[in-house]
Structure 1
Amino acid sequence: MTSDQDRARAVVFLTVRLVRRHDLTAEEAVTAIAQVRAGQDGPHTQLVREEATAVMREAAIPIRRLLDALRPVAVAAARAFADIARALRPIQAAAARTARAARRDRPDWASPYGPPPRRGGRGNARTATRARTSRRRPQHHRREPRRDS
């Protein structure tokens, strides 16, 4: 849903609330909402602002309840992760020492699997295939059309 669609639904929602709760006509409610959106003052713009604030408060109530219910779980999870991190510190330190004591019989960049392949040199399968497939046949080697007898 686009933001324009969201705005249109909010206008309809506020219009219905203004008509039902404050006995405005639909035209008065829509005009007041348009005035608030344009930053203008009108006879009913204060009602629009009050209704919008009330809607936001009402929407926040279940969100606050959910967050209050989840807070103990989040605190317990944070404590558990902190305990795990403390338990892993010695293991992490040992792993760092082991990594520093790595083999020194070759430079760090050298691979135990041999040197990296050369580009464009002899034995490069990709360039050899490309060279083979890009050659054109000489004119005298073109096939003759088949003759069905």
Structure 2
Amino acid sequence: MADPTLQEQRARLAARALLIRRLTERHEMTTEAALQAVLDAERGTRSPQADLARAEARAFTQEALAPLVDAFQRLREAARPIAQAWAETLRQLAEHLNRAGLTDRDTRPRCAGRPAWQSPYGPPPRKGRRR
């Protein structure tokens, strides 16, 4: 795995600091105990403190993403009538084209005066004959 960039390292340190602060404020842990819990959680160590740090990280992530998730849900609901109207319009267009005989049910293009098996480019060149 590639070494993290300076920006990634700064982001990790900021996330650690935020998580340590949440642990000290919400769970009355000392700064040292919170730091150890965060480091243990990063290493995958199983302990009550590390589990608490992981749970706090999940809670923070959910809190941080809640407005974004809400915005996407509102956008989806707002776009639903437009998408349904487009689908209905396209369905009606296809129906009108079919009734007018302008489409072929098998979706292959029709070429008048030529059997379906015949190439539109003429017969293939004969073998052994150069152009």
Q: Deviations over 1:1-42 (max 9, x none)?
A: x8x7798666434311133233343x6445323433415114
Which amino acid in the other structure matches residue 50 of structure 1? Answer: E
Question: Which residue number corresponds to residue 17 of structure 2?
Answer: 16
TM-score by length of 2: 0.60
State the TM-score, normalized to the length of structure 1.
0.55
Deviations 1:72-106 (A, max 9, x none): 22332222222221232130352227x79864x65
Q: Look up the match of 1:32.
A: 37
- The match for 2:57 among 27, 46, 51 is 51
How many angstroms apart in 2 are the aligned matches of 1:118 and 1:87?
Answer: 46
Larger radius of gyration: 1
Distance 1:107 1:78 in 2: 40
| C-alpha distance in structure 1 between counterparts of 2:121 and 2:90, whole Å | 37
Does residue 122 in structure 1 map to residue 126 in structure 2? no
Residue pair 1:32, 1:44 contacting (<8 A) in 2 also: yes
The answer for unaligned runs of 5 or more in structure 2 is 25-29
Structure 1 pair 41/122, CA: closer, same or farther in 2 (3 Å)? Answer: same
Bigger shift: 8-17 or 49-58? 8-17
Deviating 4+ runs (over 6 angstroms): 4-7
Q: For residue 122 of structure 1, what is the amino acid of its counterpart?
A: R
Contact 1:35–1:42 (CA under 8 A) maintained in structure 2: no
Percent identity between the aligned chains?
22
Aligned Cα root-mean-square deviation (Å) = 3.6
Cα distance between partner residues in 2 of 1:60 and 1:91? 46
Which stretches in structure 1 are left out of the alignment for 5+ residues?
Answer: 125-149
Residues 19 and 57, structure 2, Cα contact 8 Å, conserved in 1: yes
How far is the alpha carbon of 1:53 from its aligned partner?
A: 1.7
Change (3 A) 1:114 1:31: same
Separation of aligned partners in 1, 2:20 and 2:120: 79
The offset of 1:115, in angstroms, is: 0.7
State the number of aligned residues: 118
